[in-house]
Structure 1
Amino acid sequence: MENTGDTAWILTSAALVMLMTPGLALFYGGMVRMKSVLNMMMMSFGALGLISVLWVLYGYSVAFGNDVGGGLIGDPTEFFALSGLLAEESGVPFPTMAFVAFQMVFAILTVALISGAIADRVKFSTWMVFAGIWATLVYFPVAHWVFAFDNEDAGVVGGWIANRLGAIDFAGGTAVHINAGAAALALVLVIGKRKGFGREPMRPHNLPLVMLGAGLLWFGWFGFNAGSALAANHTAAVVFVNTLAATGAAVLGWLVTERLRDGHPTSLGAASGVVAGLVAITPACSAVSPVGALLIGAIAGVLCALAVGLKYKLGYDDSLDVVGVHLVGGLAGTILIGLFADPAAPAEASGLFFGGGAGLLGIQTVGALSTLAYSFVVTLVIGFALKATMGWRVDDAAEAAGIDQAEHAEAGYDFGTFGSGGGSRSPLAHRTTTDQEVSA
C-alpha cells in the first residue's frame, strides 16, 4: 500500500536536490572572473536541460533497468521513454515515478559538477555534446553499479558494486563525487590550462555569490542524503543529523588549516569546507554515528584544504577545485566507512575501529578505485575524441576578452546603465542593448 508520507518526502527531496544545480551555478559563478560568470552558470543550466531529456528517454532504463551485462548496465529498452511506468501501481510503498524524479536530479547534478574544472576556456557547444556522451557512457552505467539493487521477488538483477561487491554508498560518494572528480581530472589534462594560469591572478569575482551558492547546496543536500532513505523514517533522521554534523566539522577543519597555513581563515575557505564535508559524508551518512560523522567531516575539511593546492605543484589547471574537493572528498568519505562504520547506525556495518576487521575497508577501497579508474579512462577517450573533432578551446582572443561575450553575446553585469540619469525611469527602459553598446 502506498505511503503518502514517504511519497511526499521523496518528491520534496527531489525538489531540494534539483535546487542544488542552480545553487552550484551560483557557487561556481561567483568563483570565476567577472567576464566568465554567465558561461559558468550556463554550463550548469545546460546540464539541467539536457540530462532531464536523456534521463526520460533512456537514462533511467540504463541505470535501473534489469541488468544485461554482468552487473555493468541495465537494459536501455526496458523503460525507454519511461514506458510502462505511467500506470498507477498497487502494493508499493511509493510510486516508481517518484523514484524516477529523485534519481533524475542526481544525474543532472553529477554532470554539472564536472564543469567547474574547465571554467573560462571551453566552447559551450562542446561542453553540451560532452555532457550527453558522458552521461550515457559513464554516469548512467555507474549509477547502475551503485544504486540498482537486486530484487529476487521481482526477478530484478542490479549492479555489481551494490550487490556483488557489497560496498556501502548511501547517497553517491562513488557514483556522484568520485565519478565527477575523476572525469574533471581527465578533462583538465586533455584541455590544458587557462591562459595565464600560475602567472595572472584569477580570483573569485563575487564571494557573496559563492557563499549563497554554498548555502543552497547545504540546504539541498539534506534532500540528497536524507532523501536517499526513500522514506520519512529513522534512517532519514540519522542521516540528516550526520550530514549537518560532518559539514560543520569540515568547515572548522578547512578554516583551521587555512589559519595555520596562510595566517587567516577566508570566506572562500568556509564555503569550500561546506562542500567538502557534504561530499565526504554522502556515502557514509547511514553507516556512522554522529561522532563518526564529525571525524569524517573534520578529516575531509583538512584533506581537501590541502588537496586544492596540488594543482599548482603538479601543474594541472582544475579551475574551481573539483578534483581537490569532489574526488578527494569522495575518496575520503567512501574509504573511511571501512574505519568508522558503527553497527548501531542504520547500515549495521562494522568498520575496523568497531571490531569489523579490514574486510569492509578493502571493499570500500575497491568500489572507490574502480569508479575512479572507469570514469577517468572513459572520460579521457571522450575528451580526446571531441578535441580531435569539435575542438574544446575558444580562441585566445575570446578567452582574453571574456568567454561570456564570445559564447553567449552577453555580459553578467551591465555597468553602462549606471549614471545614465532619469532615476525614476522604469527598469524596462534599460532592457534593450544596442550593437554599439555591446561592441563598446
Structure 2
Amino acid sequence: MDTGNTAYLLGSAALVMLMTPGLALFYGGMVRAKSVLNMMMMSIVCLGVIGLVWVGFGFSLAFGDSHGGLIGGFELAGITDPDALVGDVPVQAFAMFQLMFAVITGALVSGAVADRARFRAWTLFVAVWVVVVYIPLAHWTFAVDGAVSQRGGWLVNTVGALDFAGGAAVEVNSGASALALALVLGARRGWPREPMRPHNLPLVLLGAGLLWFGWFGFNAGSALAAGATAANAFVTTMTAASAAVVAWLVLEDRLDGRPTSLGAASAAVAGLVAITPACGYVDTWGALAIGVLAGLLCQLAIRLKYRFGYDDSLDVVAIHGIGGVIGMLMLGLVATDAVNPAGADGLFYGGGPAQLGRQALSVLVAAVWAFGMTALIAWVVSRTIGFRAAPDDEHGGIDESEHAETAYEFSTMRTAGRGPAGRITEEGDR
C-alpha cells in the first residue's frame, strides 16, 4: 500500500462527497421557494439510500468478478477486507470513492422532476434505480480486468471504450434517465405558460462553486494516484470549465442581450461534465475545444425542450446528457496517448476512426439502457404508490405537504420545531 496515494484517494472521495450537498444548493436555488427543501432533500437522501445499497452489495455487483461482462458477483459484499488492494490503494478507499460517483449520479436525475415528485416515491425510485441502472453501467464502463477483480465489464474491456471519470455511467446515464423520468411524470402544472424562475441565484452560484471545487476530486482523483495523470486531469478540468463559461456568456449575450449569473453557473457545470470522460486522455488544447463546444451546444440544447415540449425542470438532459455525449465523442477525436499511454490516439492525432466508433457505441448503450430501465422503474412506481404530487400539493408547495417544513417563513404554516420528547410540534406548541 502506498500511503500517499491512499491519502490522495481519500481526500478525493471527500471532495466528491461534497458535490452532493453542492448539487442540493445548486438545484435548490433554481426552483421556486415553495419546493426548495424538497429539491434539496432529493439529493441528500441519496447519500443515505445509495450509501447503504453500495456498502451492502452494490460495490460488489459493480466491481466483483464479472459474469459474462454484464454484472459482478457478491464476493466483495460488505467491503470487509481492509488489506485488499486495487493497485497500491486499499479496496475500501476505492469503494468509497466510487460510492460518491453513484450518489451524485442519482442526485443529478432529480433535477428533471423538480416541483412535482413525492419524496417517498423518489426514495423508493432511487433505491431501485441505482441497482438496475447505475450499477450495471458502472460495471460495464469502470470495471477494468485485473483491477479489483480478474474479469470486468464488456464496454471497457471488450469494446475498448475510454471513459476516464464517468462520461457514460454518470453523465449520459443521468441525462437519459432524466429525460425518461420527466416524460413519465409529465410537465409541471402551468409549464411553460407560467414563469418558474429560480428563487435564489446566490444559492445557485454557491452550489456551482462547490461543484467546481469537488469536481477536481471527481476527475483528478480518478487517476487513483498523485502523479502526472492526476495533474493533467486537474489542468484539463479547469481549462474546459473556464472555456465553457466564456463561450456560454458570449453566446448568451449575443442571443438574449444579457450575460446572466444562471448562465455562468450552468456553463461551468456543462464544461465540467464534458471534460469528465476525457480529462485523463486529452491535452490542454483538447480540453479547450471540449469546453467551448460544451458552452455553446449545451446552451442551445436547453432551448430545445420548449420546442419538443418535455419539462426537464433544471436542464439535466441538456447539460449532463448532451455534455456527456460531447465529452465521450470528442475523446474519439482529440485523445492522445502522449498524455496517457493507457489511452489511444483520436482521429485528429492519427488514430483513425476506430476509437470514435467505440465511443459512440458506449454512448448509445448507456443512453438506451438508462432511458429504457428508468422509464420502466418510474412507471411501476407511479402505478403502485404514486410518483406525482397531488395537484393541490404541487400548487401550494410540496415542502409543506411532503416535509411539514418551509425554507422561508412565507406561508401561513409556521416552521415545525422538535418537542422535548422528539415529537414534531408547531412553533406555538413548544
State the SS of the aligned residue for 2:78. helix
Q: Mind listing any 5+ residue stretches in structure 1 that lack a counterpart?
A: 418-431
- In structure 2, do the counterparts of structure 1 residues 163 and 32 end up closer, same or farther at CA, with 3 Å as the change threshold? same
Counterpart CA distance in 1 for 2:343 and 2:184 is 42
CA distance in 2, matches of 1:255, 1:184: 25
Measure how far apart 1:162 and its partner are. Answer: 0.9
| Distance in 2 between residues matched to 1:155 and 1:136, nearest whole Å | 19
Which structure 2 residues correspond to residues 276-291 of structure 1 after superposition, within 5 A? Answer: 276-291=270-285
What is the aligned partner in structure 2 of residue 73 from structure 1? 71
Which one of the candidate residues 178, 195, 200 is aligned to 1:201? 195
- What is the distance in 2 between the residues matched to 1:229 and 1:133? 29
- Between 1:254-263 and 1:30-39, the stretch displaced more is 254-263
Matched, 1:8 2:7: yes
How high is the TM-score relative to the length of structure 1?
0.92
Amino acid of the residue matched to residue 7 of structure 2?
A: A
Aligned AA (1:60): F
1:354 is aligned to 349
**SS of the residue 2:89 aligns to:** coil
Distance 2:192 2:248 in 1: 23
What does residue 401 of structure 2 align with? 406
Write the distance in 1 (CA, Å) between the matches of 2:84 and 2:161. 31
Residue 55 to residue 90, structure 1, CA distance change in 2 (3 Å): closer
Deviations along 1:236-292, one digit per CA (max 9) or x if unpaired, are: 000000000000001111111111110111000000001000000000011111011
Indicate if the aligned counterparts of 2:46 and 2:107 stay in contact, CA closer than 8 A. Answer: yes
Is the aligned partner of 1:82 residue 2:79?
yes
**Any idea what SS the aligned residue of 1:287 has?**
coil
CA displacement, residues 192-240 of structure 1 (integer Å, 9 cap, x when unaligned): 0000001100000000000000000000000000000000000000000
**Partner residue of 2:420?**
none
State the aligned residue count.
Answer: 419
Where structure 2 has 5 or more consecutive residues not aligned to the other structure, the ranges are: 413-422
2:350 & 2:428 partners in 1: Cα distance?
Answer: 69
Q: Does the C-alpha gap of structure 1 residues 237 and 35 become closer, same or farther in structure 2, counting only changes over 3 Å?
A: same
Residue 386 of structure 2 is aligned to residue 386 of structure 1: no
Q: In structure 2, what is the equivalent of residue 36 of structure 1?
A: 35
Quote the Cα distance in structure 2 between the aligned partners of 1:383 and 1:239.
Answer: 36
In the superposition, relative to structure 1, how do residues 336 and 89 fare at CA in structure 2: closer, same or farther (>3 Å)? closer
Cα distance change on mapping 1:396 and 1:342 into 2, 3 Å:
same
SS in 2 for 1:80: coil
Give aligned-pair identity as a percent.
56
C-alpha distance in structure 2 between counterparts of 1:384 and 1:237, whole Å: 44
- Structure 1 residue 436: Cα displacement: 8.0
Cα distance change on mapping 1:246 and 1:437 into 2, 3 Å:
farther
Q: 2:205 — aligned with what?
A: 211
Give the Cα separation in 1 of the matches to 2:132 and 2:258.
43
- Using the size of structure 2 for normalisation, the TM-score is 0.94
Distance (whole Å) between structure 2 residues aligned to residue 115 and residue 416 of structure 1: 25
Q: RMSD between aligned alpha carbons?
A: 1.9
Deviation at 1:433, TM superposition (A): 9.3
Give CA-to-partner distance per residue, 1:41-67, whole Å, 9 cap, x none.
Answer: 000011111000000111000100000
The 5 Å alignment of 1:262-281 reads 262-281=256-275
Q: Does 1:138 align with 2:138?
A: no
> Structure 1 residues 226, 436: closer, same or farther in 2, change over 3 A?
closer
Is residue 2:204 matched to residue 1:174? no
From 259, 264, 287, the counterpart of 1:293: 287
SS in 2 for 1:283: coil
Between 408-417 and 299-308, the greater mean CA deviation after superposition = 408-417
Contact 2:86 2:94 in 1 (8 A): no
Alpha-carbon spacing, 1:184–1:92, altered in 2? closer, same or farther (3 Å): closer
Alignment partner, residue 298 of structure 2: 304
Structure-to-structure mapping, 1:41-60, within 5 angstroms: 41-60=40-59
Shift in Å, 1:82 = 2.0
Residue 372 of structure 1 corresponds to 367
